[in-house]
Structure 1
């Protein structure tokens, strides 16, 4: 029978595991943000390189066709165009995140990625404690997305997912954003709006994880059945040889 001391040690070990799991999730979330920014930068660099290459090719072709070439002024014009194109692409604003109204209509297979884009756009307007939960929700949405590949838009599963991440999550965050900044850290009914936001995001994260598990249940059952079949066919078969 476990003693109170051993129970306390087990509880401390479990708490340490939970902390390590949260730290791991935080690092994964930060890594995803870095990769997303790096991907965006790489796309801009490729676009700049292609646009400038097209201008150079056009200038060379024009120089070959025109009797006197493009001349000094033509070369300067090409240089100015290349600088303008480079600055235009480099400084162009990123694509706008979808609106909540758009999220309510997007195809279920694209909904997790679109919801994550919308949630990332809200990050600057949310308190610091919510940032970690945004990263965790992003990871949950990444895991959920493949599970929706075979789900029909009209199915009960799709409607459940849409209600949570396409309707309730945006509505919850927007309710918080409408609260005046001066009142967000003022207690009301024992909790501040900041605390309510964090608690709500934590519940949403867990519900997305539960949804992913339910959607994957068929695959998990199939894997378990296949594993038992292999054990019966090969491991138990070895004992009869």
Structure 2
């Protein structure tokens, strides 16, 4: 299969995840969550740091000869930078951000930060809610690239911040504070477990809807350009 075919298949899978709220996370999604490519990013950072040190040593050598001691210090600096970057904990290994800080996070980083916080709450939730947490994490991953073009103070960003950075953490936090024996006790016709599951399902659908609305312009442009190409080049062929 060519790279173009792979890209088309990936685009169709992403669109299916947005438009089919009941679809389960794909095996590829599960593998991505377990191995998000931290090793390659670390390697790139190590190479960049080593190049920066070599360039700095070269420039210093032009100004004044650094000698053997200077070259040795440059090697030590490369070793220290490599060890520091290699030992630095990955994002998934660092403590999740406190819920109260999510409302102040930069809008572009908000989905990833909220997903980290939500993943830390997963173990204390009932099994159906854990499945929904995974689904919400997938929705947040899909939403994240769309936010690169969103005005930080615009209405769309404020709506996303309210749901993802405020209401979602507050909702899960309210459930977490309910004593465990009371979570399956019916109150006003529903148990806290049921209320949690229904609320998370609603949030998951709303995040999918936000992603679709943000992508609507690109989808319309793609469709319009495709029709133009068909009219121009199919007509010429005929």
Q: Please confirm whether the aligned pair reaches a TM-score higher than 0.5, indicating the same fold.
A: yes
Which residue number corresponds to residue 173 of structure 2? 174
**Matched-pair contact (CA < 8 Å) for 1:29–1:136:** no
Residues 198-213 of structure 1 mapped to structure 2, 5 A cutoff: 198-213=197-212
Q: CA RMSD in A?
A: 3.2
**Aligned mates of 1:156, 1:90 — CA distance in 2:** 37
**Aligned mates of 1:136, 1:32 — CA distance in 2:** 14
Distance 1:170 1:20, change over 3 A: closer
Which residue number corresponds to residue 82 of structure 1? none
**Aligned mates of 1:29, 1:237 — CA distance in 2:** 42
**Matched-pair contact (CA < 8 Å) for 2:102–2:165:** yes
Superposed CA offset, 1:191-233 (max 9, x none):
1111111111111011000000000011111101101110110
**Matched-pair contact (CA < 8 Å) for 1:133–1:201:** yes
**Aligned mates of 1:30, 1:200 — CA distance in 2:** 23
Q: TM-score, normalised by structure 1?
A: 0.66
Distance 1:137 1:91, change over 3 A: closer
Kindly state the Cα deviation for residue 237 of structure 1 after the two structures are TM-superposed: 2.2
Which residue number corresponds to residue 68 of structure 2? none
Kindly state the Cα deviation for residue 20 of structure 1 after the two structures are TM-superposed: 8.7
Distance 1:91 1:21, change over 3 A: closer
**Matched-pair contact (CA < 8 Å) for 1:133–1:198:** yes
Q: TM-score, normalised by structure 2?
A: 0.67
Residues 114-133 of structure 1 mapped to structure 2, 5 A cutoff: 114-133=113-132
Which residue number corresponds to residue 31 of structure 1? 31
Matched, 1:145 2:144: yes
**Aligned mates of 2:104, 2:89 — CA distance in 1:** 31
Residues 16-95 of structure 1 mapped to structure 2, 5 A cutoff: 21-22=23-24, 25=25, 27-28=27-28, 30-35=30-35, 39=38, 94-95=93-94
**Aligned mates of 1:216, 1:90 — CA distance in 2:** 35
SS of 1:21's equivalent in the other structure is: coil
**Aligned mates of 1:217, 1:184 — CA distance in 2:** 40
Kindly state the Cα deviation for residue 29 of structure 1 after the two structures are TM-superposed: 5.1
| Aligned length, in residue pairs | 181
Larger radius of gyration: 1
Kindly state the Cα deviation for residue 19 of structure 1 after the two structures are TM-superposed: 11
**Matched-pair contact (CA < 8 Å) for 2:124–2:176:** yes
Name structure 2 gaps, 5 residues minimum.
Answer: 1-19, 47-82
SS of 1:94's equivalent in the other structure is: coil
Q: Higher RCO, 1 or 2 (CA under 8 Å, sep at least 6)?
A: 2
**Matched-pair contact (CA < 8 Å) for 2:21–2:205:** no
**Matched-pair contact (CA < 8 Å) for 1:29–1:135:** no
